[in-house]
């Protein structure tokens, strides 16, 4: 069974469009994340939710809006897509976000977004 799944795997779209990426985890984790990996392979956190509550919001344009309907799902909606949004977007989850140590983060397979 897939632990962290994302859909779609590939997304090719025109500038200006609005698109969504979905993420689901079946690990019973409390915390979920969205990361962006750019063309230089730099992986950077965008958002983190703990039990449906937003706890990390990095300096991300407000065209990006995460939504967590329940703690097993964290979706990412992107409005008015720009060329610079082209990247691989990874969802991840972990058992808990707090405390002196971090439990392992499990990543989804990634969504490769190409904006034309």
Partner 1 sequence: RKEVEQDPGPFNVPEGATVAFNCTYSNSASQSFFWYRQDCRKEPKLLMSVYSSGNEDGRFTAQLNRASQYISLLIRDSKLSDSATYLCVVNLNYGGATNKLIFGTGTLLAVQP
Which residues lie near partner 1 (CB under 8 A)?
A: 31, 40-45, 48, 50, 53, 55-56, 90, 96-102, 104-105, 107-110
**Closer by beta carbon to partner 1, 40 or else 69:** 40
**Closer by beta carbon to partner 1, 69 or else 100:** 100
Q: Residue 67 Cβ, how far from partner 1 at the closest point, in Å? A: 19
Residue 56 near residue 43, CB atoms below 8 Å: no
Q: Residue 56 Cβ, how far from partner 1 at the closest point, in Å? A: 6
Q: Residue 102 Cβ, how far from partner 1 at the closest point, in Å? A: 5
Residue 4 near residue 91, CB atoms below 8 Å: yes
* Tokens representing residue 106 in the block: 């499990």
Cα separations in angstroms, 15 against 18, 60, 89, 95, 104: 9, 18, 17, 36, 36
């Amino acid at each position: 069974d897939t632990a962290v799944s994302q859909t779609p795997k590939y997304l090719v779209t025109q500038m200006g469009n609005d698109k969504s990426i979905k993420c689901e985890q079946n690990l019973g984790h409390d915390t979920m994340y969205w990361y962006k990996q750019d063309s230089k392979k730099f992986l950077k956190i965008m958002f983190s939710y703990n039990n449906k509550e937003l706890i990390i919001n990095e300096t991300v344009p407000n065209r990006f809006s995460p939504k967590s309907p329940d703690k097993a799902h964290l979706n990412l909606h992107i409005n008015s897509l720009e060329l610079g949004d082209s990247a691989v977007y990874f969802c991840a989850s972990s058992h808990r976000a707090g405390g002196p140590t971090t439990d392992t983060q499990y990543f989804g397979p990634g969504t490769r977004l190409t904006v034309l």
